[in-house]
Chain A
Amino acid sequence: MKDKVIITVVGKDTVGIIARICTYLADSKVNVLDISQTIVQDFFNMMMVVDITGANKAFGDLQRDLVKLGEEIGVEVKAQKEEIFEKMHRL
Chain B
Amino acid sequence: MVNIKEVIETNKMVEEQTLDVRTITIGISLLECIDSDLDQLNKKVYKRITTVAKDLDKVAKEIERDYGIPIVNRRISVTPIALIGGSACKTPEDFVTLAHTMDAAAEAVGANLIGGYSALVSKGMTTADELLIKSIPQALSSTNRVCSSVNLASTKTGINMDAVKLMGEILLEVAEVSKDRDSVDCMKLVVFCNAPDDNPFMAGAFHGVTEADAIINVGVSGPGVVKKALEQVRGENFEVLCETIKKTAFKVTRVGQLVAQEASKRLGIPFGIIDLSLAPTPAIGDSVADILCEIGLEYAGAPGTTAALAMLNDQVKKGGVMASSYVGGLSGAFIPVSEDQGMINSVEAGAISLEKLEAMTCVCSVGLDMIAIPGDTPATTISGMVADEMALGMVNQKTTAARLIPVIGKGVGEKVEFGGLFGYAPIMPVNKYSCADFINRGGRIPAPIHSFKN
Residues of A within 8 A of B (CB): 6, 8, 33-34, 36-38, 40, 45-47, 49, 59-60, 63, 78, 80-90
Contact = CB atoms under 8 A, between A and B. Distances in A.
Nearest to A7: B7
Contact of A6 (B2, B251, B257, B258): B2
A34 B8 CA distance: 16
A30 B53 CA distance: 35
A46 B4 CA distance: 8
A80 B68 contact: yes
A40 B6 contact: no
A84 B3 contact: no
A45 B6 CA distance: 12
A6 B8 CA distance: 11
B6 A88 contact: yes
B10 A85 contact: yes
Contacts of B4: 36-38, 45-47
A60 B1 contact: no
15 contacts: A6-B2, A6-B7, A8-B7, A8-B8, A8-B11, A36-B3, A38-B8, A40-B8, A80-B67, A84-B68, A84-B69, A85-B6, A85-B7, A88-B6, A89-B251
Contacts of A46: 4
A73 B67 CA distance: 23
B258 A84 contact: yes
Contact of B254 (A45, A78, A82, A88): A88
Interface string B1-23: 11111111111000000000000
Contacts of A6: 2, 7
A36 B254 CA distance: 25
B266 to A, nearest CB: 13
Interface residues on B, range: 20 to 34
Interface of B: 1-11, 65-69, 251, 254-255, 257-258
B339 to A, nearest CB: 26
Nearest to A78: B68
B68 A87 contact: no
A1 B254 CA distance: 22
A22 B65 CA distance: 22
B255 A63 contact: no
A47 B7 contact: yes
Nearest to B68: A80
A87 B258 CA distance: 7
Contacts of B66: 59, 80-81
A43 B48 CA distance: 51
B223 to A, nearest CB: 17
A90 B250 CA distance: 11
B65 A84 contact: no
Contacts of A84: 10, 67-69, 255, 258
